[in-house]
Amino acid sequence: MRNDKVSDDRALTLPKFFSYYKNPVKLVSAAGGEIRAWRLCRTTGGWESADDLIDEILLAVGGEVSSLSREDFVQWVEHDRAEHVQGEGSVFALYETIGAILDVAEGQRRGLTSMEQALVVGLRRKTFVMFEEALLAAGDTAADPSLGRDVPGDGPEQRGAGHRGP
């Protein structure tokens, strides 16, 4: 675990969300005010420690590291999980539903309607919560289902919801 701490002079409010070379990464506070970084594992859908990236992410200016809103982070994580993680059950059935909505629009060479876009965003939020709850139950302490729940003032930006990739 890193010795970096969240302090008033750095004005770092956590959690923070990033795209690091097209991989979703979250920075969170840990016990004692330390900062932890977690990167999505595309094969399992769980979280891998990425503490070695903290300085690079925080000091990066443009390039392959960009800041994400919480909503964009949730949407990106669920896009990647749907594309890369294999499994059965209700979460994967919802991934198939999202894929079917995107396939129809793509087949018709059009963007998503506002209703389809809202449905995709809402379903991805739901699958995020469900997947994170399953990770917690399996002992993944980096999982945080609360990130997929609505928070006042953090409504969906819906940017990219109608696309295959983030």
The number of folded domains in the chain is 2
Same domain, 47 and 115: no
Same domain, 49 and 79: no
Structure-token pair, residue 154: 């953090």
pLDDT tens figures, 75-108: 999 999 999 999 999 999 999 999 999 999 999 9
pLDDT tens figures, 108-166: 999 999 999 999 999 999 999 999 999 999 999 999 999 999 754 444 444 445 555 55
Find all residues with CB under 8 Å of 161, minimum gap 6, and list them.
Answer: 75, 112, 117, 120, 121, 124
- Asked if 148 and 132 touch (Cβ cutoff 8 Å), the reply is yes
- How far apart CA 18 and CA 136 sit, in angstroms, is 22
pLDDT tens figures, 42-63: 999 999 999 999 999 999 867 8
Same domain, 85 and 61: no
Tell which of 7, 39, 67 closes a domain: 67
pLDDT of residue 38: 98
85 within domain boundaries: yes
* Of 111 and 3, more confident: 111
Same domain, 58 and 92: no
Lowest mean per-residue pLDDT among 1-5, 19-23, 38-42, 99-103: 1-5
pLDDT of residue 7: 44
Same domain, 22 and 89: no
pLDDT of residue 12: 85
156 within domain boundaries: no
Residue 31 binned pLDDT confidence (cut-offs 50, 70, 90): confident
Same domain, 46 and 111: no
Same domain, 44 and 110: no
Tell which of 7, 41, 67 closes a domain: 67
Same domain, 79 and 111: yes
The helix or strand, by DSSP H or E, that contains position 115, with its residue range, turns out to be: helix 114-137
Same domain, 113 and 131: yes
Same domain, 26 and 74: no
Helix axes 90-107, 114-137, angle to 10 degrees: 160
46 within domain boundaries: yes
Domain that holds residue 138: 70-148
